[in-house]
Amino acid sequence: MLIGGRRKSRIHFEGISGNCPHCGNSKLSVQIFIKYGHVFWIPFIPFGKSTYLYCEHCKLVLEEDKIPTEFVSQTTQITSGIKTPKWTFAGLGLFVFLIVFAFIAGSFINSAGNKEQDDYYAHPRVGDMYDGMTLFNDGYVVYKLVEYKPNEYKFLMSEYAAETILGLTNIKSKNQYSNDTLLMDSSTVKEYRKNGTFLGVHR
Ligand SMILES: [Zn+2]
């Protein structure tokens, strides 16, 4: 469950000159709040500031649009001098950081995996298992390399085909292969890797 919402925090407090429009006392101040969205109480993104006129004596609080004109130039000057605090972007920063991190980690893992596959394809060994599709593309099978000479691959195809790629585990555990050999040259193997007939080599 995602918990989020809006919150408000006071970021500035400053006394101003003048008398309270309600009680006439001179203990007036400007209070500035920042509004921000949070996710799990982590400030995510700021929505803007709100300014209030506050009287310490009678506790009068006036919202920005109700501040008497005589105070407006003072309050707007103070408000415009207050920057949006960086912590209100914390969640957004964390989010961007995690995405960048996941992207870098992902591409690193991917390139490591590809490197291993490149190596298996470049230096085949008898016993290598090629996960793949049938030549008619109607099921998932395992091709087992039973003989290899440069430019001549001899494969046996698994006796059974699976409907989904997940079924390949079961097919491997059955360990049953057809007696008909499939002969392929290097360019065919390369082509099958490219067009997805071969999905990956396991050793
Ligand atoms: Zn007052």
pLDDT tens digits for range 173-189: 999 999 889 999 999 99
Residue 129 in domain: yes
Model confidence at 112, pLDDT cuts 50, 70, 90, reads: confident
Q: Quote the ligand 1 centre to 16 CA distance (angstroms).
A: 13
Instruction: Say what the pLDDT of residue 115 is.
Output: 87
Q: Quote the ligand 1 centre to 12 CA distance (angstroms).
A: 19
Query: Quick one: which H or E segment has residue 59?
Result: none
Q: Quote the ligand 1 centre to 61 CA distance (angstroms).
A: 9
Residues 143 and 191 in one domain: yes
Residues 188 and 143 in one domain: yes
Q: Quote the ligand 1 centre to 55 CA distance (angstroms).
A: 5
Q: Quote the ligand 1 centre to 15 CA distance (angstroms).
A: 13
111 has a pLDDT exceeding 90: no
Model confidence at 1, pLDDT cuts 50, 70, 90, reads: confident
Mean pLDDT of 45-58: 95
Asked whether 85 and 52 are in contact (CB, 8 A), the reply is: no
Q: Quote the ligand 1 centre to 33 CA distance (angstroms).
A: 20
Tell me the two tokens of residue 47: 């929505």
89 has a pLDDT exceeding 80: yes
Mean pLDDT of 115-143: 92
Residues 87 and 8 in one domain: yes
Instruction: Say what the pLDDT of residue 137 is.
Output: 81
Residue 13 in domain: yes
96 has a pLDDT exceeding 80: yes
Residues 132 and 192 in one domain: yes
The range of the structural domain enclosing residue 157 comes to 124-202
Placement of tokens 């190596």 in the chain? 119
Per the structure, the count of domains in the chain is 2
Residue 113 in domain: no
Residues 142 and 77 in one domain: no
Mean pLDDT of 123-150: 93
Strand-by-strand arrangement of the 28-39 sheet: 4-16, 28-39, 42-55, 61-63
Model confidence at 108, pLDDT cuts 50, 70, 90, reads: confident
Model confidence at 131, pLDDT cuts 50, 70, 90, reads: very high
Task: Give the percent of the chain with pLDDT over 70.
Answer: 100
Instruction: Please tell me which residue, 106 or 110, carries the higher pLDDT value.
Output: 106
Q: Quote the ligand 1 centre to 108 CA distance (angstroms).
A: 63
CA distance 72 to 52: 11
Q: Quote the ligand 1 centre to 25 CA distance (angstroms).
A: 5
Closest CA to 181 of 149, 157, 202: 157
Mean pLDDT of 110-129: 89
pTM for the whole structure: 0.55
Q: Quote the ligand 1 centre to 11 CA distance (angstroms).
A: 22
Instruction: Say what the pLDDT of residue 107 is.
Output: 80
Instruction: Say what the pLDDT of residue 135 is.
Output: 85
Q: Quote the ligand 1 centre to 71 CA distance (angstroms).
A: 14
Residue 65 in domain: yes
Q: Quote the ligand 1 centre to 37 CA distance (angstroms).
A: 32
Model confidence at 110, pLDDT cuts 50, 70, 90, reads: confident
